[in-house]
Amino acid sequence: MSDWVKECFRLQFRIVTFRATAEELFNIGWKHLPFGLFWALLAGIGRAWDNPTAAAILRSGMPSVAYVFALSLFLWLFIAPLKPEQWRYSRVLAFVGLTALPGVLYAVPLELMLSPDDAIIGNSFLLLIVASWRVALLTWFLWKSRFGRWGTATAVCLPLSLIILGLVATDHLVKTFAVMGGYRYFVVENETLAKPYLEEQNKIPTFSTGSMNKLDTRGAHGHHTVYRQAWRMGPDGSGNKNPPGLREISWDDPEYMAPDPVLAVARGLTWASMIAAPFFAVVYVIICIRNLVQGIRSWRKATREQRKSEKDVAIDGPKS
Protein backbone atom coordinates (compact mmCIF):
# COMPACT_ATOMS: atom_id res chain seq x y z
CA MET A 1 0.00 0.00 0.00
CA SER A 2 1.44 3.36 -1.03
CA ASP A 3 2.18 6.13 1.44
CA TRP A 4 -0.45 8.31 -0.24
CA VAL A 5 -3.21 5.73 0.32
CA LYS A 6 -2.14 5.23 3.93
CA GLU A 7 -2.18 8.98 4.52
CA CYS A 8 -5.63 9.35 2.95
CA PHE A 9 -7.04 6.42 4.92
CA ARG A 10 -5.69 7.86 8.15
CA LEU A 11 -6.97 11.36 7.41
CA GLN A 12 -10.40 10.12 6.35
CA PHE A 13 -10.78 8.04 9.51
CA ARG A 14 -9.78 11.01 11.65
CA ILE A 15 -12.27 13.25 9.82
CA VAL A 16 -15.30 10.95 10.01
CA THR A 17 -14.59 10.34 13.71
CA PHE A 18 -14.25 14.10 14.42
CA ARG A 19 -10.62 13.77 15.51
CA ALA A 20 -8.73 15.68 12.79
CA THR A 21 -6.90 18.80 13.91
CA ALA A 22 -7.47 22.25 12.44
CA GLU A 23 -4.06 22.05 10.78
CA GLU A 24 -4.97 18.75 9.09
CA LEU A 25 -8.25 20.23 7.83
CA PHE A 26 -6.53 23.36 6.54
CA ASN A 27 -4.05 21.24 4.57
CA ILE A 28 -6.50 19.00 2.70
CA GLY A 29 -6.82 19.75 -1.00
CA TRP A 30 -6.44 18.40 -4.51
CA LYS A 31 -4.12 15.54 -3.53
CA HIS A 32 -6.87 14.01 -1.35
CA LEU A 33 -9.64 14.47 -3.91
CA PRO A 34 -9.18 11.20 -5.90
CA PHE A 35 -9.43 9.17 -2.69
CA GLY A 36 -12.62 10.97 -1.66
CA LEU A 37 -14.17 10.54 -5.11
CA PHE A 38 -13.43 6.81 -4.95
CA TRP A 39 -15.58 6.49 -1.82
CA ALA A 40 -18.28 8.69 -3.34
CA LEU A 41 -18.31 6.34 -6.34
CA LEU A 42 -18.64 3.29 -4.06
CA ALA A 43 -21.49 4.94 -2.16
CA GLY A 44 -23.26 5.69 -5.44
CA ILE A 45 -22.85 2.13 -6.67
CA GLY A 46 -24.12 0.86 -3.33
CA ARG A 47 -27.37 2.80 -3.67
CA ALA A 48 -28.51 0.76 -6.67
CA TRP A 49 -26.45 -2.43 -6.75
CA ASP A 50 -29.36 -4.58 -5.48
CA ASN A 51 -31.86 -3.05 -7.93
CA PRO A 52 -31.62 -4.90 -11.28
CA THR A 53 -34.03 -2.47 -12.94
CA ALA A 54 -31.99 0.64 -12.18
CA ALA A 55 -30.61 2.65 -15.09
CA ALA A 56 -26.99 2.05 -16.04
CA ILE A 57 -26.01 5.60 -15.09
CA LEU A 58 -27.38 5.07 -11.57
CA ARG A 59 -25.64 1.73 -11.19
CA SER A 60 -22.36 3.30 -12.27
CA GLY A 61 -22.26 5.58 -9.21
CA MET A 62 -21.36 8.61 -11.33
CA PRO A 63 -24.31 10.74 -10.10
CA SER A 64 -22.82 10.58 -6.59
CA VAL A 65 -19.45 11.79 -7.94
CA ALA A 66 -21.17 14.67 -9.74
CA TYR A 67 -23.05 15.45 -6.51
CA VAL A 68 -19.72 15.93 -4.69
CA PHE A 69 -18.68 18.65 -7.17
CA ALA A 70 -22.12 20.33 -7.17
CA LEU A 71 -22.50 20.35 -3.38
CA SER A 72 -18.93 21.59 -2.88
CA LEU A 73 -19.44 24.45 -5.34
CA PHE A 74 -22.69 25.44 -3.63
CA LEU A 75 -21.11 25.41 -0.15
CA TRP A 76 -18.04 27.28 -1.33
CA LEU A 77 -20.04 30.05 -3.02
CA PHE A 78 -22.68 30.31 -0.32
CA ILE A 79 -20.29 30.41 2.63
CA ALA A 80 -17.50 32.48 1.03
CA PRO A 81 -19.14 35.88 1.88
CA LEU A 82 -19.06 34.85 5.55
CA LYS A 83 -15.26 34.65 5.25
CA PRO A 84 -14.19 31.50 7.07
CA GLU A 85 -10.43 31.05 7.36
CA GLN A 86 -8.61 29.60 4.31
CA TRP A 87 -11.85 29.01 2.39
CA ARG A 88 -10.67 27.38 -0.86
CA TYR A 89 -12.78 25.38 -3.31
CA SER A 90 -10.16 22.62 -3.41
CA ARG A 91 -10.36 22.31 0.37
CA VAL A 92 -14.16 22.15 0.45
CA LEU A 93 -14.21 19.69 -2.46
CA ALA A 94 -11.71 17.34 -0.81
CA PHE A 95 -13.58 17.52 2.51
CA VAL A 96 -16.94 16.65 0.93
CA GLY A 97 -15.31 13.75 -0.91
CA LEU A 98 -13.64 12.40 2.22
CA THR A 99 -16.97 12.50 4.10
CA ALA A 100 -18.62 10.25 1.49
CA LEU A 101 -17.66 7.19 3.54
CA PRO A 102 -20.86 7.12 5.70
CA GLY A 103 -22.89 6.90 2.47
CA VAL A 104 -21.61 3.35 1.99
CA LEU A 105 -24.25 2.38 4.58
CA TYR A 106 -26.81 2.77 1.79
CA ALA A 107 -25.32 -0.36 0.21
CA VAL A 108 -26.83 -2.57 2.91
CA PRO A 109 -29.57 -4.51 1.00
CA LEU A 110 -32.27 -4.27 3.66
CA GLU A 111 -35.00 -5.08 1.12
CA LEU A 112 -33.42 -8.49 0.55
CA MET A 113 -32.89 -9.20 4.24
CA LEU A 114 -36.03 -7.91 5.96
CA SER A 115 -39.77 -7.73 5.48
CA PRO A 116 -41.04 -4.71 3.50
CA ASP A 117 -42.17 -2.89 6.65
CA ASP A 118 -38.88 -3.53 8.44
CA ALA A 119 -36.90 -2.57 5.32
CA ILE A 120 -38.70 0.78 5.12
CA ILE A 121 -37.98 1.47 8.79
CA GLY A 122 -34.36 0.39 8.31
CA ASN A 123 -33.90 2.61 5.27
CA SER A 124 -35.38 5.55 7.16
CA PHE A 125 -32.96 5.00 10.03
CA LEU A 126 -30.01 4.74 7.63
CA LEU A 127 -31.12 7.98 5.98
CA LEU A 128 -31.37 9.68 9.38
CA ILE A 129 -27.97 8.37 10.52
CA VAL A 130 -26.08 9.32 7.35
CA ALA A 131 -27.73 12.74 7.00
CA SER A 132 -27.16 13.62 10.67
CA TRP A 133 -23.57 12.39 10.51
CA ARG A 134 -22.76 14.53 7.48
CA VAL A 135 -24.44 17.65 8.89
CA ALA A 136 -22.48 17.16 12.11
CA LEU A 137 -19.26 16.79 10.10
CA LEU A 138 -19.95 20.01 8.19
CA THR A 139 -20.68 21.87 11.44
CA TRP A 140 -17.46 20.56 12.98
CA PHE A 141 -15.46 21.40 9.82
CA LEU A 142 -16.69 25.00 9.85
CA TRP A 143 -16.02 25.35 13.58
CA LYS A 144 -12.49 24.05 13.07
CA SER A 145 -12.10 26.70 10.35
CA ARG A 146 -12.23 29.29 13.15
CA PHE A 147 -15.53 30.49 11.80
CA GLY A 148 -17.20 31.59 15.01
CA ARG A 149 -20.44 30.54 16.63
CA TRP A 150 -22.86 32.61 14.55
CA GLY A 151 -21.01 32.04 11.30
CA THR A 152 -21.06 28.27 11.78
CA ALA A 153 -24.73 28.18 12.78
CA THR A 154 -25.71 30.37 9.81
CA ALA A 155 -23.64 28.42 7.28
CA VAL A 156 -25.27 25.16 8.38
CA CYS A 157 -28.86 26.10 9.24
CA LEU A 158 -29.67 28.57 6.45
CA PRO A 159 -28.93 26.34 3.42
CA LEU A 160 -30.59 23.33 5.09
CA SER A 161 -33.70 25.39 5.86
CA LEU A 162 -33.84 26.77 2.32
CA ILE A 163 -33.49 23.29 0.81
CA ILE A 164 -36.28 21.90 2.99
CA LEU A 165 -38.58 24.86 2.24
CA GLY A 166 -37.77 24.53 -1.46
CA LEU A 167 -38.79 20.88 -1.38
CA VAL A 168 -41.98 21.78 0.48
CA ALA A 169 -42.82 24.61 -1.94
CA THR A 170 -42.40 22.32 -4.96
CA ASP A 171 -44.23 19.44 -3.25
CA HIS A 172 -41.10 17.27 -3.40
CA LEU A 173 -40.35 16.80 0.30
CA VAL A 174 -42.46 13.67 0.70
CA LYS A 175 -41.24 12.24 -2.61
CA THR A 176 -37.64 12.84 -1.57
CA PHE A 177 -38.20 10.89 1.64
CA ALA A 178 -39.93 8.18 -0.39
CA VAL A 179 -37.06 7.89 -2.87
CA MET A 180 -34.52 7.60 -0.06
CA GLY A 181 -36.71 5.12 1.78
CA GLY A 182 -37.34 3.18 -1.40
CA TYR A 183 -41.12 2.96 -1.64
CA ARG A 184 -44.26 4.41 -3.26
CA TYR A 185 -47.97 4.13 -2.45
CA PHE A 186 -50.90 3.67 -4.85
CA VAL A 187 -54.67 3.31 -4.80
CA VAL A 188 -56.80 1.69 -7.49
CA GLU A 189 -58.35 4.26 -9.79
CA ASN A 190 -59.45 1.96 -12.63
CA GLU A 191 -60.03 -1.63 -11.51
CA THR A 192 -60.24 -2.97 -15.08
CA LEU A 193 -56.73 -1.71 -15.90
CA ALA A 194 -55.24 -2.33 -12.48
CA LYS A 195 -56.30 -5.97 -12.00
CA PRO A 196 -54.04 -7.55 -14.71
CA TYR A 197 -51.08 -5.48 -13.55
CA LEU A 198 -51.54 -6.41 -9.89
CA GLU A 199 -51.91 -10.09 -10.74
CA GLU A 200 -48.67 -9.98 -12.71
CA GLN A 201 -46.89 -8.15 -9.90
CA ASN A 202 -48.01 -10.74 -7.36
CA LYS A 203 -45.94 -13.32 -9.25
CA ILE A 204 -42.78 -11.37 -8.39
CA PRO A 205 -41.60 -12.70 -5.02
CA THR A 206 -38.99 -10.13 -4.01
CA PHE A 207 -39.79 -6.72 -2.68
CA SER A 208 -36.68 -5.16 -4.21
CA THR A 209 -37.82 -5.87 -7.79
CA GLY A 210 -41.08 -4.02 -7.40
CA SER A 211 -43.79 -6.38 -6.19
CA MET A 212 -46.96 -4.67 -5.01
CA ASN A 213 -47.73 -5.19 -1.33
CA LYS A 214 -51.39 -4.91 -0.38
CA LEU A 215 -52.01 -2.89 2.74
CA ASP A 216 -55.17 -2.31 4.74
CA THR A 217 -55.00 1.28 5.93
CA ARG A 218 -57.25 3.59 7.87
CA GLY A 219 -57.40 7.22 6.90
CA ALA A 220 -59.66 10.11 7.74
CA HIS A 221 -62.62 8.50 5.92
CA GLY A 222 -62.32 4.90 7.11
CA HIS A 223 -60.56 1.80 5.81
CA HIS A 224 -58.85 1.66 2.42
CA THR A 225 -56.77 -0.69 0.32
CA VAL A 226 -53.36 0.72 -0.56
CA TYR A 227 -50.60 -0.89 -2.60
CA ARG A 228 -46.97 -0.29 -1.74
CA GLN A 229 -44.23 -0.68 -4.35
CA ALA A 230 -40.47 -0.54 -4.01
CA TRP A 231 -39.11 2.50 -5.77
CA ARG A 232 -37.42 1.51 -8.99
CA MET A 233 -35.97 3.61 -11.77
CA GLY A 234 -35.63 1.72 -15.01
CA PRO A 235 -33.50 2.74 -17.98
CA ASP A 236 -36.54 4.36 -19.56
CA GLY A 237 -37.40 6.37 -16.46
CA SER A 238 -40.33 4.09 -15.67
CA GLY A 239 -39.88 4.70 -11.97
CA ASN A 240 -41.65 8.04 -12.39
CA LYS A 241 -44.67 6.59 -14.19
CA ASN A 242 -47.82 5.36 -12.50
CA PRO A 243 -48.74 1.71 -13.12
CA PRO A 244 -51.90 1.22 -15.22
CA GLY A 245 -55.12 1.83 -13.34
CA LEU A 246 -53.33 3.02 -10.20
CA ARG A 247 -52.88 6.51 -8.80
CA GLU A 248 -49.91 7.43 -6.65
CA ILE A 249 -50.66 8.99 -3.29
CA SER A 250 -48.40 10.55 -0.70
CA TRP A 251 -47.47 8.61 2.40
CA ASP A 252 -48.99 11.46 4.40
CA ASP A 253 -52.29 11.58 2.51
CA PRO A 254 -54.84 11.89 5.37
CA GLU A 255 -57.62 10.36 3.29
CA TYR A 256 -55.83 7.03 2.96
CA MET A 257 -52.95 6.89 5.43
CA ALA A 258 -52.84 6.87 9.19
CA PRO A 259 -50.48 9.36 10.89
CA ASP A 260 -46.88 8.21 10.58
CA PRO A 261 -44.10 9.01 13.10
CA VAL A 262 -41.73 9.83 10.25
CA LEU A 263 -44.33 12.27 8.97
CA ALA A 264 -44.22 14.02 12.34
CA VAL A 265 -40.46 14.42 11.93
CA ALA A 266 -40.91 15.81 8.41
CA ARG A 267 -43.49 18.31 9.63
CA GLY A 268 -41.25 19.26 12.53
CA LEU A 269 -38.40 19.95 10.11
CA THR A 270 -40.74 22.04 7.97
CA TRP A 271 -41.87 24.21 10.88
CA ALA A 272 -38.32 24.54 12.18
CA SER A 273 -37.16 25.61 8.71
CA MET A 274 -39.93 28.21 8.45
CA ILE A 275 -38.60 29.79 11.65
CA ALA A 276 -34.89 29.28 11.02
CA ALA A 277 -34.75 30.46 7.39
CA PRO A 278 -35.78 34.12 7.90
CA PHE A 279 -33.82 34.40 11.15
CA PHE A 280 -30.55 33.09 9.74
CA ALA A 281 -31.12 34.98 6.47
CA VAL A 282 -31.01 38.20 8.51
CA VAL A 283 -27.90 36.97 10.34
CA TYR A 284 -26.31 36.07 6.99
CA VAL A 285 -26.93 39.58 5.62
CA ILE A 286 -25.60 41.20 8.79
CA ILE A 287 -22.39 39.15 8.72
CA CYS A 288 -21.90 39.86 5.00
CA ILE A 289 -22.39 43.61 5.52
CA ARG A 290 -20.00 43.58 8.47
CA ASN A 291 -17.37 41.76 6.42
CA LEU A 292 -17.89 44.18 3.53
CA VAL A 293 -17.47 47.20 5.79
CA GLN A 294 -14.34 45.69 7.34
CA GLY A 295 -12.98 44.97 3.88
CA ILE A 296 -13.58 48.56 2.75
CA ARG A 297 -11.93 49.91 5.89
CA SER A 298 -8.91 47.65 5.40
CA TRP A 299 -8.63 48.72 1.76
CA ARG A 300 -8.87 52.42 2.65
CA LYS A 301 -6.29 52.00 5.41
CA ALA A 302 -3.90 50.20 3.06
CA THR A 303 -4.46 52.90 0.43
CA ARG A 304 -3.72 55.70 2.91
CA GLU A 305 -0.56 53.96 4.10
CA GLN A 306 0.58 53.46 0.53
CA ARG A 307 -0.05 57.12 -0.34
CA LYS A 308 1.76 58.23 2.79
CA SER A 309 4.70 56.01 1.93
CA GLU A 310 4.80 57.41 -1.62
CA LYS A 311 4.60 60.97 -0.24
CA ASP A 312 7.46 60.33 2.17
CA VAL A 313 9.56 58.93 -0.65
CA ALA A 314 8.78 61.99 -2.79
CA ILE A 315 9.83 64.39 0.02
CA ASP A 316 12.84 62.60 1.46
CA GLY A 317 13.89 60.74 -1.64
CA PRO A 318 14.53 57.03 -1.87
CA LYS A 319 16.50 55.49 0.96
CA SER A 320 19.99 54.39 0.02
**Largest distance between two CA atoms of the chain:** 100
Is 75 among the domain residues? yes
Report the length, in residues, of the chain: 320
Are residues 234 and 123 both part of a single domain? Answer: no
Are residues 134 and 187 both part of a single domain? Answer: no
Per-residue pLDDT reduced to its tens digit, 88-140: 999 999 999 999 988 888 777 776 777 666 666 677 778 788 888 999 999 99
pTM value? Answer: 0.72
Average pLDDT of the residues in 153-177: 76
Q: Which of 307, 305, 174 is nearest to 249 (CA)?
A: 174
Could you tell me the residue range of the domain that residue 109 belongs to?
A: 3-147
**pLDDT confidence band for 237 (50 / 70 / 90):** very low
User: How far apart are the C-alpha atoms of 45 and 39, rounded to whole Å?
Assistant: 10
User: How far apart are the C-alpha atoms of 188 and 178, rounded to whole Å?
Assistant: 19
Are residues 141 and 186 both part of a single domain? Answer: no
Are residues 140 and 190 both part of a single domain? Answer: no
Are residues 33 and 118 both part of a single domain? Answer: yes
84 three-state secondary structure: coil
Per-residue pLDDT reduced to its tens digit, 1-17: 688 888 888 999 999 99
User: How far apart are the C-alpha atoms of 43 and 302, rounded to whole Å?
Assistant: 49
